[in-house]
Amino acid sequence: MTAGLRVVSLSKSYGDPPVPALDEIDFASPSGSFTAVVGASGSGKSTLLRIIGGLTVASSGQVTMDGLAPDELRRRKAVGWMAQRPALLPWRRVIDNVTLAQSINPRPRTLPDPDQLLSMVGLAEAALAYPGELSGGMQQRAALARTLAIGAPLWLMDEPFSSLDELTRETLADDLLDIWASATPTVVWVTHHIPEAVSLADRLLVFTPRPGRIAGLVEVDLPRPRDATSGAFQSVVREARQLLRGAPRAEVVA
Ligand code: ADP
Ligand code: MG
């Protein structure tokens, strides 16, 4: 068995005649690592997450997480999802949204305590509120608590902060990193916001525009919490931006 997430020669086409959305994606993420996938709209980022999570079938190639295929991961409820919109049930209080996720996802492993989760995401005071009574940032915090509630070893995050303002995004990112450090899941984080990816991830996979191919891999070898104003941070941002714009690797390094 190979530990961590492995994606091998993964391709996906949609439609008839088939139009490629992902072309020969290869990468490996060690257990407990944080990988960001960065690319333009339409470059296949969501498709990649859906294939990893077992919601879409690949046209060719393989995905395994700790040796398990996506349909098996799905069956074992080993995947925590988070999307751009919080999708909370509006008629249930915040705490009930979290406990409901646990009750419809029964599994043998020990689940985190819902009250503790709400404290971790800074929503202890809002446990009894309804989602409609919360700000966008608080709703996304509640969605994060719900994702964490199932204790999944793999988190697939599809632009979860993209509807948030800069300040909310930054504070939530700090909290998220603390939670990640204590829960140590393997994370694949999709974003089109390069500084966000550089502040969070161990490495960035930069995708080409459609069809998505890996334009390059950028390692972020900076201690956390990261200072976005430092020269080292900005040089990583620049490297990723150049890859995104299609510069050949040699030009990036020069
Ligand atoms: P991203 O998340 O990077 O914006 P997507 O994975 O959503 O990219 O989409 C990649 C490409 O595949 C897009 O051109 C999109 O139109 C197409 N696509 C995505 N899902 C479907 C689908 N279910 N049926 C047909 N085409 C799709
Ligand atoms: Mg998408």
Nearest in space to 157 (alpha carbons), one of 83, 224, 57? 83
| Dist. CA 45 → ligand 2 center (Å) | 5
The average pLDDT across 216-226 equals 96
The whole-number pLDDT of residue 105 equals: 67
The average pLDDT across 89-93 equals 96
Q: Which atom, in ligand 1's list, is nearest to the CA of 192? A: 3
The whole-number pLDDT of residue 27 equals: 97
The mean of the pLDDT values for the chain is 91
The average pLDDT across 36-52 equals 96
Nearest in space to 37 (alpha carbons), one of 216, 185, 225, 169? 216
Ligand nearest to the CA of 14: 1
- Cβ burial of 84 (10 Å; 0-12, 13-18, 19+) is middle
Please state, in angstroms and rounded to a whole number, the distance separating the CA atoms of residues 9 and 11.
6
The neighbourhood of ligand 2, an ion, using CB within 5 A, equals: 45-46
The whole-number pLDDT of residue 252 equals: 43
The whole-number pLDDT of residue 167 equals: 86
**Does the pLDDT at position 135 exceed 90?**
yes
| Alpha carbon separation from 51 to 47, 152, 217 (Å, rounded) | 6, 17, 20
| Dist. CA 229 → ligand 1 center (Å) | 34
Is the shortest distance between the CB of 43 and ligand 1 below 6 Å?
Answer: yes
Nearest CA, atom 19, ligand 1: 47
Is the shortest distance between the CB of 51 and ligand 1 below 6 Å?
Answer: no
- Ligand 1 site-directed mutation target among 11, 12, 14, most atoms within 8 Å of CB: 14
| Alpha carbon separation from 158 to 176, 202, 214 (Å, rounded) | 14, 17, 18
Ligand nearest to the CA of 51: 1
| Dist. CA 213 → ligand 2 center (Å) | 15
Nearest CA, atom 10, ligand 1: 44
Ligand nearest to the CA of 48: 1
pLDDT in tens, 136-188: 999 999 999 999 888 899 999 999 988 888 888 888 888 889 888 888 899 99
| Dist. CA 47 → ligand 1 center (Å) | 6
Is the shortest distance between the CB of 42 and ligand 1 below 6 Å?
Answer: yes
Kind of pairing between the strands at 5-14 and 19-29: antiparallel
Sign of CA dihedral 84, 85, 89, 94: positive
- Ligand 1 site-directed mutation target among 47, 156, 193, most atoms within 8 Å of CB: 47
The average pLDDT across 21-48 equals 97
